[in-house]
Amino acid sequence: MTRDPRRKMVLDDRYELRPVPLAHGGMGEVWEGHDTRLDREVAVKFLRFPSGVHDEQLVRRFVRESRITARLQHPGVPAVFDVGTHQRRPFLVMQRIHGIGVSDLIAEHDELPVGWAAAIAAQVCAVLAAAHRVSLVHRDLKPANLMLEPEGTVKVLDFGLAVALDLNDFSQITRSGQLVGTPAYMAPEQVEAGMSTPQSDLYALGCTLHQMLTGRQLFTGSTAYTTMSKQVSETPPSVRADRPDAPDELADLVLQLLAKKPED
């Protein structure tokens, strides 16, 4: 989205956007805004079209998934306030979250104290349990999508566009250069078949917990293909190789989360 930075963009005569976006990804773009009616901060997420061309199928899915996300009311998920369209691009108005990303926390502290890592993971589990009860799968859980607020609450971000992608969607988006998920956190079944289940979220949580405890990603490679190949075929090491202070029970739990087969 491009516009004159000297002019304020106002959506629906209500939401006033700041000059530059907070973040953007393959299919989403988030702007900081102000709700002029209720005098509160908001975050506004626009749909981005991967090919740059308006896609009615993506628009319909965005609207459907906006409704699903809005029904997921949990303290660990940003609240959805409103939905609309601007210049044929749909947008969501959400709760503005302040805090530090868990990815930034890892970069700052390297490995996190065991208690911190366990507390963050436990809060993420509470969110996933609520989401999975309503058949909502995140599909891109990773440290960059976790925000730690000043009082210690963990928010799980970006449930939006990934909630209802099926195998055909995966193939279509892969052909356009977009992955459904992030290679360093993708479960083997996501890599091999483009299928995501609640167990896929648990695998991603295992990758995230391993990174919080060791300060490094579980599997890396020079290309996305190399990383995904390791997710499928390489046996993960125990976190105790890097964190001998990690309790055996926690190290065993991480390995259980990282089982290659979803049924395990």
Q: Which residues are catalytic?
A: 140
- CB count within 10 Å of CB 174 equals 12
Q: H or E stretch including 11? A: strand 10-11
Alpha carbon distance 130, 31 (integer Å): 27
- The half-sphere exposure of 69 on its side-chain side, counting CA atoms within 13 A, is 29
Which among 31, 88, 5 has a CA at the least distance from the CA of 54? 88
Rounded to the nearest 5°, which phi and psi values hold at 206? -60, -45
Which among 178, 173, 241 has a CA at the least distance from the CA of 213? 241
Provide the 3-class DSSP secondary structure of residue 248.
helix
Q: H or E stretch including 256? A: helix 248-257
Q: What residues have CB less than 8 Å from 214, skipping those under 6 apart?
A: 111, 239, 242, 243
Q: Which two tokens stand for residue 10?
A: 């106002």
Which among 163, 217, 154 has a CA at the least distance from the CA of 186? 217
